[in-house]
């Protein structure tokens, strides 16, 4: 797995820093392309759900069955899957409601009248959102890193899906902070830094988990990763996609993401 280390770190960094792309979109455009965001979020959810259930869960099960036997290995896979869901659900519950990073923000909000700037409540909301994104991105960084170590093709797919869903999160940080301070540089900086939790998660996986990353540990981590990604897709990406949606863009994106992931996996059989 050593030759894949650089790729794994690079993919994780790229996925995390996509929050900065979101803030740039907020600064460089004048209108929210709701159809594009809806399709993109649906696409990301489709990739995550398909790859989690068809590839990651199966890889986890195979590894654990090989180590523990069929009955115990399959049971451990299911337990690991729902543990991943429980972990990310607890993280989600601990985040204050006003800091929800998946509440859609509009680019049009960047053009509010100047006399409405310096709102402390909005500043607090922006900071909470940046912290919330950081908390969410930490386990996503572990997921991307460990996936890329084991299977570079799988890691690339996961990194792209996570990067896409980090773009509107960057907007969610940049809009309230700019609206509160009138400072684009500060808004971009906080948006950009919120994504750094992703490579921090990769670093944690490398320094703490790598010494124990045998087939048993790999299977448990992958089962949890599958659960985390399914929860993120169902609880965050799809609801956000529907909020931006004007017709059926979210479901079209979802199906396209699944189809593209299926085709890419077929090509690597």
pLDDT digits (tens, 9 = 90+) for 146-198: 888 888 888 888 888 888 878 877 877 787 777 777 788 888 888 888 888 89
Helices (H), the chain: 5-16, 18-28, 34-51, 57-68, 70-94, 120-150, 152-181, 184-194, 197-204, 215-232, 238-244, 249-267
Distances in Å between the Cα of 79 and the Cα atoms of 72, 85, 181, 212 are 10, 10, 46, 19
Angstrom distance (rounded) from CA 26 to CA 176: 11
**Distances, alpha carbon 145 to alpha carbons 5, 49, 99, in Å:** 8, 18, 26
Q: What is the pTM of this model?
A: 0.73
Q: Checking phi first, is residue 153 left (phi over 0); if not, alpha (psi -120 to 50) or beta? A: alpha
Residue 114 CB neighbours (<10 A)? 7
Q: What is the pLDDT of residue 64?
A: 95
Please give the pLDDT value at position 74.
96
For residues 215 and 33, which has the higher predicted lDDT (pLDDT)?
215
Task: Give the pLDDT of residue 187.
Answer: 83
Residue 41 near residue 240, CB atoms below 8 Å:
yes
Per residue in 97-118, pLDDT (tens digit) is 544 444 555 555 545 544 444 5
Residues 32 and 45 sit within 8 Å (Cβ to Cβ): no
pLDDT recorded at residue 94: 75
* 45 vs 37: CA distance, rounded Å: 12
Range in 22-26, 130-134, 136-140, 243-247 the model is least confident about: 243-247
Question: Do residues 171 and 40 make contact, with C-beta atoms less than 8 angstroms apart?
Answer: no
Q: pLDDT tens-digit profile of 11-45?
A: 999 998 888 888 887 777 556 567 777 887 888 88
222-241 b/e (C-beta count within 10 Å ≥ 16 → b):
bbbbbbbbbbbbeebbbbbb
215 versus 128: the higher-pLDDT residue is: 215
What pLDDT, on a 0 to 100 scale, did the predictor assign at position 162?
84
Mean pLDDT of the chain: 81
Check whether 85 has a pLDDT greater than 70. Answer: yes
Split at pLDDT 50, 70, 90, the class of 227 is very high
């Amino acid at each position: 797995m050593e030759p894949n280390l650089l790729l794994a770190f690079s993919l994780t960094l790229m996925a995390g820093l996509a929050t900065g792309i979101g803030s740039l979109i907020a600064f460089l455009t004048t209108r929210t392309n709701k159809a594009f965001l809806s399709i993109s979020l649906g696409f990301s959810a489709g990739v995550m759900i398909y790859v989690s259930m068809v590839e990651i869960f199966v890889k986890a099960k195979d590894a654990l069955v090989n180590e523990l036997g069929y009955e115990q290995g399959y049971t451990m896979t299911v337990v690991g899957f729902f543990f991943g869901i429980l972990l990310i659900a607890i993280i989600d519950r601990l985040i204050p409601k006003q800091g929800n990073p998946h509440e859609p923000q509009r680019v049009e909000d960047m053009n509010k009248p100047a006399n409405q700037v310096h709102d402390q409540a909005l500043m607090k909301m922006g900071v909470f959102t940046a912290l919330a994104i950081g908390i969410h991105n930490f386990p996503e960084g572990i997921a991307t890193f460990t996936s890329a170590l084991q299977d570079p093709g799988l890691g690339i797919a996961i990194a792209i899906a996570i990067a896409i869903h980090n773009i509107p999160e960057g907007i969610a940080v940049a809009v309230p902070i700019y609206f509160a301070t009138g400072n684009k540089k500060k808004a971009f900086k906080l948006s950009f830094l919120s994504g750094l939790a992703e490579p921090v998660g990769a670093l944690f996986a490398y320094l703490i988990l790598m010494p124990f990353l045998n087939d048993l540990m790999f299977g448990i981590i992958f089962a949890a990763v599958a659960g985390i990604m399914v929860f993120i897709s169902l609880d965050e990406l799809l609801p956000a996609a529907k909020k931006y949606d004007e017709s059926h863009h979210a479901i079209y994106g979802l199906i396209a993401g699944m189809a593209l992931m299926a085709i890419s996996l077929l090509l690597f059989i």
